[in-house]
Every structure is written in C-alpha cells, then in structure tokens.
Amino acid sequence: MLAIAGAVLAAQKGDPVVIPANAAAWAVLSAFGFGGFLIALPEAVERGGTAWALVDARLAVVVLLVAGALVLRAPMTAAPRALLTL
C-alpha cells in the first residue's frame, strides 16, 4: 500500500499539488506490475534457472513496448531508408 501511495505522489504536477486521474491510474498500474514482477521473479529462478527468468523478463518488456507502440501509433519521424544505416 505504501508503494502505491508513493507512486501516486510521484505522479503529481504543479505548485499547488494536482494529481491528474490518468497519472494516478498509470502510477497504480505500474506499482502493481512492478510488484508482480518482483514476486514472480524468484519463482521463475527456482523453476527454470536464472537464464530463463531473465529471458522471460526481457520478453515481457519487448511485448509491452510493442503493445505500447501499437496503441499510441506514433508517426515515424525518420524515413525508413535512413533506418538501414543504423
């Protein structure tokens, strides 16, 4: 409960303290996600080893980043040909 309160307080804006509803919701969702990850990580290490726990964690990050990119649909600012040089 203390972590959720801290996350909501970190989401505040402005000199007179204003906590937007969407910022508080994202803070609570992040706190639950991070807490769930910390609870599940030791179990994953016990069952599959450290390497598989790290693979699972990285895979979850990639899935969340792709899902966020698909939801936000941010336009690409660089031409696709310019990405080949990277």
Q: What pLDDT score was predicted for residue 76?
A: 64
Q: What pLDDT score was predicted for residue 67?
A: 85
Q: Scanning the structure block, which residue is given the tokens 């909501």?
A: 8
Q: What pLDDT score was predicted for residue 73?
A: 80
pLDDT tens digits along 2-28:
777 777 777 777 677 777 788 778 778
Q: Where are the beta strands (DSSP E) in the chain?
A: none
Q: What pLDDT score was predicted for residue 74?
A: 72
CA dist list (Å): 49 to 42, 52, 53:
9, 6, 6
Return d(Cα 58, Cα 44) in angstroms, integer: 13
pLDDT tens digits along 39-67:
888 888 888 788 888 887 888 888 888 88
The tokens of 45 are what? 């290490």
